[in-house]
């Protein structure tokens, strides 16, 4: 029979058990197969639908993890056909009229800083809280401190912490965001609280870099409890290390310096190692007399092993006249050169005047040979490198990343830098501790 003579079929497709279903409901259930899709959609239609969906939601930047929630609609019709408006957590019927533009959070092991920033760069609130939930490298226990800090910064800004959202964009620069699996887990935890409409997660090294330079590219090195490094090229390419610990080839930071100081002190005491002032300085820091007593206190559980991270200032004091202490700091400087130099080479920035920003507690000292060794090592890799020690709080870098993402001009960024200082955070730290 010719096509023209064929009997017209019903606009239905065969369903299970011979039932016939109308096309339009099938099109609604056939995700991304097109508006007039039949039960058996073609592969071409399916691929086109996926491409359209990708263009609609946009791809995330390579160096960040994102979680975006669709904004709530005032009525079901505005939410789209067949969709319910999203309901925010918090007090029923209470939404902020003009929430701050950015909620910036920086932290990890020892402290957590948070700031609320308006779109014009005005600092709405800022809080620093000491974090006691550190259980060693790659632990998520510090997230409880993040929640406490966000609630505290809302109260400091004069807003209800139960109200959602507290800001339009959240930038979280956290020390535990080392692997993609970490990013996904932390973002799910952040999204559960619903603090902001759009969440961006980065490692804390990116906050160090952004806080220490007006450029959007360079190398950031953090050396506090542990050591990590990340880099951004002028064209946006990024590089970072997993920084899990010794299992990922890392060494450095307060924990490793303290362990090595006790190791040298113990060997000097029993005669296996060279003589060093650390034999007296290490135990006296813990009000003990011999390195063996420090070892026994840790082994028997009378002292937490994490307290060894308190020893770097002791090592820096001894390094001026003690060869063993100096060798510990030389090893730390060489590790920093290895990490930052590798990042520079991987992003092909050896011919540029690349800024290298050093942040973290280990750099809070005035031992010039330590910094000279770092700079000399980096200049052998990139001749025009510019090494600086971070003076601003890293949370300022997290806030600047948020303003960058919102397309802010230089004036709001300068206003933010002027208002968000260590002195400002120290003032709120004392208030937060008294309230606790």
DSSP 97-166: SS--SEEEEEE-SSEEEEEEE-TTS-EEEEEEEE-----STT--TTHHHHHHHHHHHHHHTTS-TTSS-S
The phi, psi pair for 52, rounded to 5°, reads -65, -40
User: Residue 99's pLDDT is what?
Assistant: 79
**CA–CA separation, 176 and 155 (whole Å):** 26
State the CB neighbour count (10 A cutoff) for residue 320.
10
State the CB neighbour count (10 A cutoff) for residue 2.
5
pLDDT tens for residues 219-277?
999 999 899 999 999 999 999 999 888 899 999 999 999 999 999 999 999 999 999 99
- 336 to 27, 204, 221, 255: CA distances (angstroms): 57, 16, 8, 15
Given a cut of 90, is residue 123 above it in pLDDT?
yes
The residue that leads in pLDDT, 1 or 187, is 187
The residue that leads in pLDDT, 141 or 211, is 211
**CA–CA separation, 61 and 235 (whole Å):** 12
pLDDT range class, residue 181, cuts 50, 70, 90: very high
Ramachandran class of 120: left when φ > 0, alpha when ψ lies in -120 to 50, beta otherwise: alpha
Contact 168, 195 (CB under 8 A): no
Q: How does 395-429 read in b/e, with b if 16+ C-beta sit within 10 Å?
A: bbbbbbbbbebeebeeebbebbbebbbeebbeebb
SS3 call for 320: coil
* Predicted TM-score (pTM) of this structure: 0.75
- Strands of the sheet containing 218-223, edge to edge, are 238-240, 227-232, 218-223, 355-359, 386-389
SS3 call for 23: helix
pLDDT range class, residue 431, cuts 50, 70, 90: low
The residue that leads in pLDDT, 217 or 62, is 217
- Burial classification of residue 40, based on how many CB atoms lie within 10 Å of its CB (0-12 exposed, 13-18 middle, 19 or more buried): exposed
Mean pLDDT (the chain, rounded): 82
User: Residue 69's pLDDT is what?
Assistant: 53
Write down the H helix ranges in 220-351.
254-270, 278-285, 291-299, 312-318, 323-346
* Most confident of the ranges 8-12, 76-80, 147-151: 147-151
Residue 145 CB contacts under 8 Å (≥ 6 apart), including other chains: 107, 112, 129, 131, 132, 133
pLDDT tens for residues 91-113?
333 445 567 899 999 986 678 99
Given a cut of 50, is residue 83 above it in pLDDT?
no
Q: What percent of the chain has pLDDT over 90?
A: 65
Beta strands at 227-232 and 238-240: parallel, antiparallel or unpaired: antiparallel
In order of start, what are the domains of the chain with their CATH numbers? 19-48 (no CATH), 102-211+393-435 (3.30.420.40), 214-390 (3.30.420.40)
What's the DSSP call for residue 379? H
Query: 54-68, 228-242, 254-268, 331-345: which has the minimum mean pLDDT?
Result: 54-68
Any idea which residue has 């005669």 for tokens?
271
Q: Taking the mean position of all CA atoms in its chain, how far away is CA 155?
A: 23
Pull the structure tokens for residue 350.
């050896």
**CA–CA separation, 212 and 405 (whole Å):** 18
**CA–CA separation, 229 and 250 (whole Å):** 11
Any idea which residue has 């601003």 for tokens?
392
The beta strands (E) that lie in 177-301 are given as 196-203, 218-223, 227-232, 238-240
Pull the structure tokens for residue 201.
């997660």
Mean pLDDT over residues 338-357, rounded?
98
- 383 to 209, 351, 374, 380: CA distances (angstroms): 20, 7, 13, 6
Mean pLDDT over residues 410-421, rounded?
95
Handedness of CA 360, 366, 367, 369 (dihedral sign): positive
The residue that leads in pLDDT, 141 or 289, is 289
User: Residue 37's pLDDT is what?
Assistant: 42
pLDDT tens for residues 261-319?
999 999 999 999 999 999 999 999 999 999 999 999 999 999 999 999 999 999 999 99
The residue that leads in pLDDT, 196 or 141, is 196
The residue that leads in pLDDT, 58 or 293, is 293
């Amino acid at each position: 029979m010719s096509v023209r003579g064929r009997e017209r079929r019903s606009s239905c497709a065969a369903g299970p058990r011979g039932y016939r279903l109308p096309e339009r409901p099938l099109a609604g259930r056939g995700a991304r197969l097109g508006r007039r899709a039949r039960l058996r959609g073609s592969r071409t239609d399916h691929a086109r639908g996926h491409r359209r969906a990708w263009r609609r939601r946009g791809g995330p930047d390579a160096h960040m993890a994102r979680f975006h929630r669709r904004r709530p609609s005032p009525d079901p019709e505005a939410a789209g056909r067949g969709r319910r408006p999203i309901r925010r957590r918090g007090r029923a019927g209470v939404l902020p009229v003009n929430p701050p533009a950015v909620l910036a959070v920086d932290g990890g092991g020892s402290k957590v800083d948070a700031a609320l920033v308006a779109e014009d760069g005005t600092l709405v609130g800022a809080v620093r809280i000491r974090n006691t939930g550190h259980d060693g490298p790659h632990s998520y226990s510090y997230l409880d401190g993040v929640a406490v800090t966000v609630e505290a910064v809302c109260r400091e800004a004069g807003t209800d912490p139960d109200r959602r959202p507290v800001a339009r964009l959240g930038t979280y620069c956290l020390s535990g965001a080392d692997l993609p699996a970490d990013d996904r887990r932390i973002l799910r935890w952040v999204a559960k609280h619903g603090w902001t409409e759009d969440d961006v997660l980065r490692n804390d090294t990116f906050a160090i870099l952004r806080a220490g330079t007006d450029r959007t590219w360079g190398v950031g090195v953090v050396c506090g409890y542990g050591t990590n490094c990340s880099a951004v090229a002028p064209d946006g390419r990024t590089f970072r290390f997993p920084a899990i610990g010794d299992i990922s080839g890392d060494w450095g930071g307060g924990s490793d310096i303290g362990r090595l100081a006790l190791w040298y002190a113990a060997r000097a005491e029993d005669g296996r190692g060279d003589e060093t002032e650390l034999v007296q300085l290490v135990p006296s820091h813990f009000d003990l007399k011999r390195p063996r007593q420090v070892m026994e206190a840790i082994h028997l559980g009378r002292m937490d092993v994490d307290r060894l991270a308190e020893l770097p200032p002791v090592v820096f004091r001894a390094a001026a006249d003690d060869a063993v202490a100096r060798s510990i700091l030389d090893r730390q400087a060489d590790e920093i050169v290895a990490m930052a130099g590798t990042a520079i080479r991987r992003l092909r920035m050896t011919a540029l005047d690349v800024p290298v920003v050093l942040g973290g507690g280990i750099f809070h000292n005035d031992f010039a040979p330590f910094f000279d060794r770092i700079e000399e090592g980096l200049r052998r890799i990139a001749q025009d490198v510019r090494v600086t020690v971070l003076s601003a709080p890293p949370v300022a870098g997290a806030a600047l990343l948020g303003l960058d993402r919102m397309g802010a001009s230089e004036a709001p960024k300068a206003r933010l830098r002027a208002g968000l200082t260590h002195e400002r955070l120290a003032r709120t730290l004392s208030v937060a501790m008294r309230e606790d």
